[in-house]
Amino acid sequence: MAKKEEKPVEEEGSSKSGMGKILILGLGGLLIIGISVGAALYFTGFFDSNTEPVKAAQAVGKANTATEKVATTPKKPTEPAQYMNLRPFTVSLNGKDGRRFLQITVSLMARSSDVLGAVKRNRPAVRNALTLLFSSQSEGALSSREGKLALQKQALAEIRKILLSEGVPSELKAIYFTNFVVD
């Protein structure tokens, strides 16, 4: 009758110490993760303010007032760029080494769908002008980066000229060569 069992008391104590260990390990793990994330954010510059460019500008000297006005004036929001792909062009090139071919894919960029609509309406004239331009090139001129950039500018000017002759403002912003193969 007076006998007491100590076994249940031991079980409660051992479960408390097991839970304590799990709790301590969990909190330690969370602490390590928090420190890691904080260090990563610190070293990537997340907590830096934008005062460094201002300090650098002051150290170099004052910029002219026009530059300061441009830097402080917010930009006007522009329409997003819209692209139109033309079917690939394949033309023969002028060359000394026999027949050479140029295969080129062109993409046009404008900020207005009206401009791209005008290009679509005048697609035969645009393709004709670009075909004549591309076929008049020599292989040597197209082998350098400068030659390709010059051709890009000439192609943009040709398309703008067609659009202006049709009464469309020349708001075509850029022309890109998305594929350029000389064979």
Q: Are residues 127 and 172 in the same domain?
A: yes
Characterize the bridge pairing of strands 82-85 and 89-93: unpaired
Three-state DSSP at 88 gives coil
**113 and 31: one domain?**
no
Does a structural domain hold residue 70?
A: no
Query: Is the domain of 36 the same as that of 120?
Result: no
Asked if the structure places residue 52 within a domain, the reply is: no
179 in Cβ contact with 108 (< 8 Å)? no
For the record, the structure tokens of 42 come out as 């610190």
pLDDT, greater one: 122 or 41: 122
**Rounded percentage of the chain residues whose pLDDT exceeds 90:** 38
One domain, residues 164 and 95: yes
CATH code assigned at 143: 3.30.479.30
Give me the pLDDT at residue 99, please.
81
Q: What is the pLDDT of residue 133?
A: 94
What pLDDT score does 123 carry? 94
pLDDT for 83 equals 93
Q: Are residues 41 and 86 in the same domain?
A: no
Contact 142, 102 (CB under 8 A): yes
Q: Do 87 and 152 have their domain in common?
A: yes
How high does pLDDT run on average in the chain? 79
Dihedral sign from CA coordinates of 35, 41, 46, 52: positive
Does residue 168 share a domain with residue 108?
Answer: yes
The total number of structural domains that make up the chain:
2
CA dist list (Å): 178 to 40, 82, 85, 151, 164: 39, 15, 9, 14, 25
pLDDT at residue 183, as a whole number: 84
Do 31 and 101 fall into the same domain?
no
Q: What pTM was computed for the model?
A: 0.56
* Banded pLDDT at 66 (limits 50, 70, 90): very low
pLDDT of 121 strictly over 90 = yes
Asked, for residue 51, whether it belongs to a domain, the answer is no
Average pLDDT over residues 14-40: 84
Q: Decide if 166 is inside a domain.
A: yes
Residue 35 lies in a domain: yes
Judge whether 156 lies within some domain: yes
87-116, pLDDT tens digit by residue? 999 998 877 777 889 999 999 999 988 899
The residue segments making up the domain with residue 106 are 82-182
Q: What is the DSSP letter of 89?
A: E
Per the domain annotation, does 54 fall within a domain? no
Over residues 123-180, the pLDDT tens digits come to 999 999 999 999 998 888 888 899 999 999 999 999 999 999 988 877 889 999 999 9
